[in-house]
Amino acid sequence: MFKIALLGAGRIGKIHAANAAAHPELTLSHVVDPAAEASQAVAAATGAAVASLDAVLADASVAGVIVASSTDTHLEYCVAAHAAGKAIFCEKPLDMDLARARAAADSLQGARLFLGFNRRFDPNFQALKARLDDGSIGRLETLQITSNDPAPPPVAYVKVSGGLFKDMAIHDFDMARWLLGEEPAEVFAWGSCLVDPAIGEAGDIDTARTVLKTADGRFCVIANSRRSGFGYDQRIEAYGSGGMVRVANVLESTVQVWTEGGAQADRFQNFFLDRYRDAYRQEMTHFADILAGRVGPSVGYTDGVAALALAEAAAQSLKSGLPVRL
Amino acid sequence: MFKIALLGAGRIGKIHAANAAAHPELTLSHVVDPAAEASQAVAAATGAAVASLDAVLADASVAGVIVASSTDTHLEYCVAAHAAGKAIFCEKPLDMDLARARAAADSLQGARLFLGFNRRFDPNFQALKARLDDGSIGRLETLQITSNDPAPPPVAYVKVSGGLFKDMAIHDFDMARWLLGEEPAEVFAWGSCLVDPAIGEAGDIDTARTVLKTADGRFCVIANSRRSGFGYDQRIEAYGSGGMVRVANVLESTVQVWTEGGAQADRFQNFFLDRYRDAYRQEMTHFADILAGRVGPSVGYTDGVAALALAEAAAQSLKSGLPVRL
Amino acid sequence: MFKIALLGAGRIGKIHAANAAAHPELTLSHVVDPAAEASQAVAAATGAAVASLDAVLADASVAGVIVASSTDTHLEYCVAAHAAGKAIFCEKPLDMDLARARAAADSLQGARLFLGFNRRFDPNFQALKARLDDGSIGRLETLQITSNDPAPPPVAYVKVSGGLFKDMAIHDFDMARWLLGEEPAEVFAWGSCLVDPAIGEAGDIDTARTVLKTADGRFCVIANSRRSGFGYDQRIEAYGSGGMVRVANVLESTVQVWTEGGAQADRFQNFFLDRYRDAYRQEMTHFADILAGRVGPSVGYTDGVAALALAEAAAQSLKSGLPVRL
Amino acid sequence: MFKIALLGAGRIGKIHAANAAAHPELTLSHVVDPAAEASQAVAAATGAAVASLDAVLADASVAGVIVASSTDTHLEYCVAAHAAGKAIFCEKPLDMDLARARAAADSLQGARLFLGFNRRFDPNFQALKARLDDGSIGRLETLQITSNDPAPPPVAYVKVSGGLFKDMAIHDFDMARWLLGEEPAEVFAWGSCLVDPAIGEAGDIDTARTVLKTADGRFCVIANSRRSGFGYDQRIEAYGSGGMVRVANVLESTVQVWTEGGAQADRFQNFFLDRYRDAYRQEMTHFADILAGRVGPSVGYTDGVAALALAEAAAQSLKSGLPVRL
């Protein structure tokens, strides 16, 4: 059993706490959060002790930490945990600022840092990746990533979110890199405010189309909207020399109703915690594998920096109206 | 070009007339119908001449006839046309009475008689048959035939229809024989009146479940209802030693609407003339092939008798409440 | 927290143990199994103590028991647990013998006995039931239950299984009763040995078609096979006066591959523990609700007896070749 | 009956000839083609007379012409036919050169010119349009048009095709305009040669991603490839404020095969003449409606010019690497 500590007991922290507590190889020993109510709730549910960050880092029996605190603390906590010899499971994004993220490279040299790009752990996207890897469609040529939220977040959130590209499309940039197996060479992005004028007034967009191009001319189109109107819309189509493989949305059940109006399938899952429930579990299993030394992190610091670089390039393209070379 | 004559200018006769007129190898030369209005309408639309049955049979230039008249005339017209040396495309059923149908065996000896079990010519069911024949699912073990009309016919029609088994399930009995490649050895049928009490008062049923069993224990379940509530419901599932092949219903378009309520496909085709439009065209092509001597009828007199025998056995089982051995 | 004990630490017992251990309101305090290795494995994984049945029944702090032992002990353990004042979560079937099951009625009078017909707790079948209840398809008229295992069990198992109807179709009889909301009045069954001759030599069948009929003429067809060739095939179609609602099989992922060969969806889930993983969790939640007094058992002793009665009637029909009135 | 003449008896000309001949209101009276073999074949199949263009234009009994000759003659024939008072059904594109097409505006003033953008007449895309018009998804915000050919054409064809944007994407530009109900204000296009290096050597691309943007910030992404690897891939997704409506590809049949490998649907239709068979028939019905004065052309000269303008803008963007304002 590996003892691990949770830093940050908010919404995503609670998910990770429950998964850690249920994992047969992990014990959630400590929970750290300045908000006493939040940390105590997690402690009560899991049997972990409420603790301070310093105490956790000083405790040699703690093998790893989960960094689920606010984004501006991610880098600092990662660096401190690495210095204390802990393995790290850090929530995405690494940071809001590319330069800051890059500046941490030296301090994180050699870190066992697993960055939580959860979509890579979704069974559906993993099945897609497996089909690409086993040659089901020949050589991958183009990608179409559709990534629409069910409904826009409050404007208050939008204002501190870092903008659509860093807050929302960052996942899609990571998926593009993961599936293409190559860094995009050029980015072009257009964006609009079609969903909620208040988002525009806050200086952000709610709808975007981003095109990535690799050095050898392969493409990835990313379609983002803050509101789908029908649920959590997370689909990918991958075209290769021998066909296409795609991931469809997940329905709440397999029920179909046939009436005069047509054939109606159930609703799409509406909430990311439902859609990615299994992905979060798989992340914790991966962290256990890292702690046990069976594998290294499959996604980490350099991936976090690269996704952030794409997000900044997209934002720059949106501003200039021109393609941006990376 | 082969000259052919149409006997019977009703709803299905008009379909065949149009398909014959459009076929590059066929000329619809005559149309026969005691109802002058009906025969004249077909004549006007196709360029055929209105004629009497005797004239058609006496005209040596007429190579074939389409028997689309009322069911009680089918056998008589087939026998007369065969005696006159014509090839025959006869609508199903051969007759309402098994004994009568069997009694015609001698008179129809050697007839080029093509019986219009249209479902065998539907591209979807043909694709199913092809999958069975090419071994896609190994040896066929069981069948599930679902065959529901969109809405019940008028009770006046029900009264003269010969009953659900002869009028409606007759198609399914033919499909079962065609796909099983063997005569069922035993039949069990249960029926009810769930859709329209007036059908029950007319002495018929509107809902039935019929199970066919072959000598070696393979099964076919036929589910019939006079009303589906969602369109023309014509599906088959065939289970083999290596998997399953099935035919789904045909939708009016490939449009799908995704809203908060779920994913909605278009309506199912509602009308048998839509669903089997291509099947009727393929029937005419088959008739042209027969006239040209390229093939013999793929379905004919013996199939008509066998389907009728199953319908009578099902009716007998319904009455007695016991399985019936054939 | 309610303390509960597990009686029987076999395959299904382990599932229930894990779900009980993970449930926030339940503590698995004891595990009972004559096979020391099995009980110790569960004890190690969950923190429960290995104990004897007598000790468990005598321990007033134990609020409930899970009966997951061999079928021939179900009734005895239920009766004993009830006498000791415990709530009971008993695996299906209640017993292999209808007369014996009926004879236990008095001893189980007033028991808080929840019978684990797991399919009622599957989210897909629950969604089907919800559509029936909310009137989505009007009045329910007929059911088609398809229930095929991926592959036949070893013949050694078949010999002690009680036969296809009690071992396998028992689930479908329960689903039929649950969905029809009424006891079937008549049963007709045909069976064959098409999959494995050894099953026939063992005196059982591997393929069956059973038709249930209610007093007012509604039908349920149950199609069973010990081998589907494509995975765990668990589907239901329910037809009503206004349309149809159906449950499709569950795929391993939403991935689709499009190549020259067509559009290929992922494989169907192959294993009942995968397909019904969520159902088993929901069962445990229901048991917690019963223990807390929030609800009574939604399915219990009378349901177990009724399903067994249908299974015996089907077996009798198979033997006699005649419909059986209940 | 309206007498119409066919100008150009190539592949698409033959389709129109057969549809005209089969239309109850139309008579194909003449066929014009410098290639005697081609015109005689159409004449033999339809009963039309082989004639010269001058004779057709001089024949006052001819009400309309179908312009299906080589693209470089389209404008000239349209102008001549209009001058002779004929209604015109002209194949797309209007011309290969935007300036030339614009220059014909005066000569075609008042022409009854129907331009054959066949996809507008496809029942599936019409169903999509109907859903947009009836408010099924609220206000249309973004479009995703996927338009991939089954396999690349011979390089000899590519060389004279006018390039991917004018030859292939021209259809998609027209669909974008039709569905958006508005002229795009800006175009950005990237292209590559991923399918066949010979296409690149011929100076063309075989893969493109084009983004259109309207004045109010709505988007349309067009994905084109000369080779899909799985059939004729013609899909559209339209996102609105209340959901999404999409058109799926058309399968050869509704057959599905379920085996250990998964659920396999039939192949996608591979050939544009199959996929758009009904669209071509509907076009002829629309032309008959125009001839009868029941409607004006639903798509004509200005649509042809506008689609060509988008194609030229896309080509210019591809060349410059910058967005192009229209």
Cβ–Cβ below 8 Å for D260 and C266: no
Average pLDDT rounded to a whole number, residues A132-145: 97
Average pLDDT rounded to a whole number, residues A40-55: 94
Does the beta carbon of D271 lie under 8 angstroms from any beta carbon of chain C? no
Does the beta carbon of C232 lie under 8 angstroms from any beta carbon of chain D? no
List of chains touching C (3+ CB pairs within 8 A) = A, B, D
Q: How far is B147 from chain A (nearest CA, A)?
A: 15
Strands A243-247 and C262-265, sheet pairing: unpaired
Q: How far is A284 from chain D (nearest CA, A)?
A: 29
The 3-class SS string of chain C reads: CEEEEEECCCHHHHHHHHHHHHCCCEEEEEEECCCHHHHHHHHHHHCCEECCHHHHHHCCCEEEEEECCCHHHHHHHHHHHHHCCCEEEEECCCCCCHHHHHHCCCCCCCCCEEEECHHHHCHHHHHHHHHHHCCCCCCEEEEEEEEECCCCCCHHHHHHCCCHHHHCHHHHHHHHHHHHCCCCCEEEEEEECCCCHHHHHCCCCCEEEEEEECCCCCEEEEEEECCCCCCCEEEEEEEECCEEEEECCCECCCEEEEECCEEEECCECCCHHHHCHHHHHHHHHHHHHHHCCCCCCCCCHHHHHHHHHHHHHHHHHHHHCCCEEC
Q: What percentage of chain A exceeds 90 in pLDDT?
A: 94
Does the beta carbon of D232 lie under 8 angstroms from any beta carbon of chain A? no
Q: Which residues of D touch B256 (CB under 8 A)?
A: 245-248
Question: What does the mean pLDDT of chain B come to?
Answer: 96
Model confidence at A3, in pLDDT bands (50, 70, 90)?
Answer: very high
Q: How far is A229 from chain B (nearest CA, A)?
A: 6
Cβ–Cβ below 8 Å for A194 and D213: no
Model confidence, pTM: 0.95
Question: What does the mean pLDDT of chain D come to?
Answer: 96
Query: Searching chain C, which residue's CA lies closest to the CA of residue B187?
Result: C190
Strands C243-247 and C233-240, sheet pairing: antiparallel
Query: Searching chain A, which residue's CA lies closest to the CA of residue B267?
Result: A262
Give the CA angle between residues C276, C280, C286 to the nearest 5°.
135
Does the beta carbon of D211 lie under 8 angstroms from any beta carbon of chain A? yes
pLDDT < 70: residue spans in chain C: none
* C window 21-60, beta carbon within 8 A of B: none
Q: Which residues of B touch D246 (CB under 8 A)?
A: 255-256, 258
D186 contacts: CB under 8 Å, gap ≥ 6: D212, D213, D323, D324, D325, D326
Q: Which of A141, A190, A230 sits opposite D194 (nearest CB)?
A: A141
Q: Which residues of D touch C265 (CB under 8 A)?
A: 262-265
User: Which residue from B221, B215, B250, B213 is spatially nearest to B237, judged by alpha carbons?
Assistant: B221
Q: Which residues of D touch B128 (CB under 8 A)?
A: 255
Comparing A293-302, B300-309, D38-47, the range with the smallest average pLDDT is D38-47
Average pLDDT rounded to a whole number, residues D86-107: 97
Model confidence at D274, in pLDDT bands (50, 70, 90)?
Answer: confident
Give this complex's ipTM.
Answer: 0.95
Give the pLDDT of residue D34.
94
Structure tokens given for D66: 């179908």
- Given a contact cutoff of 8 angstroms between Cβ atoms, the answer to whether C190 and B201 are in contact is no
Model confidence at D259, in pLDDT bands (50, 70, 90)?
Answer: very high
Cβ–Cβ below 8 Å for B264 and A267: no
Give the pLDDT of residue D14.
95
Cβ–Cβ below 8 Å for B141 and C219: no
- B85-100 pLDDT, tens digit each: 999 999 999 999 999 9
Model confidence at B23, in pLDDT bands (50, 70, 90)?
Answer: confident
Does the beta carbon of A253 lie under 8 angstroms from any beta carbon of chain B? no
Q: How far is D122 from chain B (nearest CA, A)?
A: 10
> With 90 as the cut, is the pLDDT of residue D1 above it?
no
- Longest distance between any two alpha carbons in chain D, whole Å: 67
Cβ–Cβ below 8 Å for A251 and B262: yes
Does the beta carbon of D152 lie under 8 angstroms from any beta carbon of chain A? no
> With 90 as the cut, is the pLDDT of residue D270 above it?
no
Model confidence at D203, in pLDDT bands (50, 70, 90)?
Answer: very high
Question: What does the mean pLDDT of chain A come to?
Answer: 96
Give the pLDDT of residue B271.
78
Model confidence at D115, in pLDDT bands (50, 70, 90)?
Answer: very high
Q: Which residues of A touch C126 (CB under 8 A)?
A: 253
Average pLDDT rounded to a whole number, residues A176-183: 97
Average pLDDT rounded to a whole number, residues D156-179: 96
Q: What percentage of chain D exceeds 70 in pLDDT?
A: 100
> With 90 as the cut, is the pLDDT of residue A167 above it?
yes
Query: Searching chain B, which residue's CA lies closest to the CA of residue A260?
Result: B230
- Which segment, A10-24, B267-281, C121-135, is predicted with the most confidence on average? C121-135
Model confidence at B312, in pLDDT bands (50, 70, 90)?
Answer: very high
> With 90 as the cut, is the pLDDT of residue A326 above it?
yes
Average pLDDT rounded to a whole number, residues D165-180: 97
Query: Searching chain D, which residue's CA lies closest to the CA of residue C257?
Result: D264
Could you write out the DSSP letters of every residue in D86-113? -EEEEESPS-S-HHHHHHTTTTTTT--E
List of chains touching A (3+ CB pairs within 8 A) = B, C, D
Does the beta carbon of B271 lie under 8 angstroms from any beta carbon of chain A? no
Q: If you count residue pairs, one on A and one on B, with CB atoms under 8 Å apart, how many are there? A: 52
Cβ–Cβ below 8 Å for B255 and D45: no
> With 90 as the cut, is the pLDDT of residue A110 above it?
yes
Average pLDDT rounded to a whole number, residues A7-21: 94
A121-278+307-325: CATH, from 3.30.360.10, 3.30.465.10, 2.40.50.140, 3.40.605.10? 3.30.360.10
Could you tell me the residue ranges of all domains in chain A?
2-111, 121-278+307-325
Cβ–Cβ below 8 Å for B265 and A263: yes
Facing residues of D262 across strands?
Answer: D259
> With 90 as the cut, is the pLDDT of residue A148 above it?
yes
> With 90 as the cut, is the pLDDT of residue A142 above it?
yes
Cβ–Cβ below 8 Å for A192 and D219: yes
Average pLDDT rounded to a whole number, residues B260-267: 93
Q: How far is CA C274 from CA A90, C15, C270, in A?
A: 30, 11, 8
Q: How far is B140 from chain A (nearest CA, A)?
A: 27
Q: Which of A138, A229, A322 sits opposite D241 (nearest CB)?
A: A229
Does the beta carbon of B10 lie under 8 angstroms from any beta carbon of chain C? no
Average pLDDT rounded to a whole number, residues B67-77: 96
Average pLDDT rounded to a whole number, residues A234-250: 97
Q: What percentage of chain A exceeds 70 in pLDDT?
A: 100
Fold type of domain A2-111? Rossmann fold (3.40.50)
List of chains touching B (3+ CB pairs within 8 A) = A, C, D
User: Which residue from D55, D45, D40 is spatially nearest to D5, judged by alpha carbons?
Assistant: D55
Q: Which of C230, C262, C265 sits opposite D260 (nearest CB)?
A: C230
